[in-house]
Amino acid sequence: MAKAGIEEAKSTIVQSQAFRENRAEASKKMSLGAEFLGAAVTTGKAYVKVYDCEHTSKLQNKLVRDQGGNSSPTGIDAVDLVYDYASTNRDILRNFF
């Protein structure tokens, strides 16, 4: 009977640890998803293009900026940022969606 009690206690500890780890992982995925969707919102339909591209072909890893290189990207440059982000985190994003 004592052995059964010990096994049950071990099982409870393992379940508790798994719950905490899953909760932390889910929180991380939600944060990444929010960042990704936030980028997509600012670039119009870039989210749909990135999601479709991820399943049909390799993502392009390019980042185009203005000649100065220090200015914030706009227009097409912002779409390239989303492609870059998605290709860097594609495994996490695939699990998130």
Distance, CA of 45 to CA of 57 (rounded, Å): 18
From first to last of its 97 residues, the chain has per-residue pLDDT tens of: 566 666 776 677 666 666 666 665 555 554 555 555 555 444 444 444 544 444 444 444 444 444 444 445 445 555 666 666 666 666 665 665 5
The model's pTM: 0.22
Q: Do 39 and 82 contact (CB within 8 A), yes or no?
A: yes
DSSP-derived 3-state class of residue 15: helix
- Kind and range of the H or E element at 31? helix 2-42
**Residue boundaries of the structural domains of the chain:** 2-96
Burial environment of residue 7 by CB neighbours within 10 A (0 to 12, 13 to 18, 19 or more): exposed
Which pLDDT belongs to residue 91? 61
